[in-house]
Each structure stands twice: as structure tokens, then as C-alpha cells.
């Protein structure tokens, strides 16, 4: 895969493009670069789904998994759709 630049808002992420044409943001810690730091080619160290979930204000989501190192959580909405959302856009429901 080709590894592009780091995201300026989310520096833990790098943009990658696979040989099959897929593309998306991946935590850089999941990538082994073929040659030194920066951009170039690399391989994934583990499977990663780049799906981001579009949400609206006051939508109730179920947190499936959190990634504290990246600041994003994998969530599911009421329709059963899943994807990543930034942690700073969600908050727990009152008890």
C-alpha cells in the first residue's frame, strides 16, 4: 500500500491507498513503512476498517470499542450501521 501524509487534525492517522484501490485514514501505529519515517510504501500490521459513521446531534449510539490512542470509538447507531466517530463528538447518556 502507499502511505500518504499524516492528518493535521488527527496526527495519529496517515492516509493509505491499497493496491486494490481502497483508501482511508489508518492509525499510523498499524503501519510498517518499507523505508524510514515519512511517506512511501508500507504494510498493515493488523486488519483495520476505515469506515467513519456520519451522525447527527442527539443521536443515540452504542460504543462497541474505543481506541484511546487515536481518540476515536467504533459505534453502532439505531439502524445497525457501524463506524468510527471522534470521541470528542460523543458523551455518555445521563444515568
Tens digit of each residue's pLDDT (9 = 90 or more) over 65-90? 999 999 999 999 999 999 999 999 99
Same domain, 38 and 57: no
Residue 81 in domain? yes
CA distance 14 to 25: 6
Distances from the Cα of 54 to the Cα of 34, 40, 44, 67, angstroms = 33, 30, 25, 18
Full residue range of the structural domain in which residue 13 is found: 2-44
Grid look-up 458523551 returns: 91
Q: What is the pLDDT of residue 36?
A: 57
Same domain, 31 and 57: no
CA-based nearest residue to 1, from 47, 36, 34: 34
Residue 93 in domain? no
CA distance 35 to 77: 40
Mean pLDDT, the chain, rounded, equals 92
Same domain, 36 and 66: no
Residue 61 in domain? yes
34 confidence band (pLDDT: 50, 70, 90): confident
Q: What is the pLDDT of residue 40?
A: 85
54 or 21: whose pLDDT is higher? 54
Amino acid at each position: 500500500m502507499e502511505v500518504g501524509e499524516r492528518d493535521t487534525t488527527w496526527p495519529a492517522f496517515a492516509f493509505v491507498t491499497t493496491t486494490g484501490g481502497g483508501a482511508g485514514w489508518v492509525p499510523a501505529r498499524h503501519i510498517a513503512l518499507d523505508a524510514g519515517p515519512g511517506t512511501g510504501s508500507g504494510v498493515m500490521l493488523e486488519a483495520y476498517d476505515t469506515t467513519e459513521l456520519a451522525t447527527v446531534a442527539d443521536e443515540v449510539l452504542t460504543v462497541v470499542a474505543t481506541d484511546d490512542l487515536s481518540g476515536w470509538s467504533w459505534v453502532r447507531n439505531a439502524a445497525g450501521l457501524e463506524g468510527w466517530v471522534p470521541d470528542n463528538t460523543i458523551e455518555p447518556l445521563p444515568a
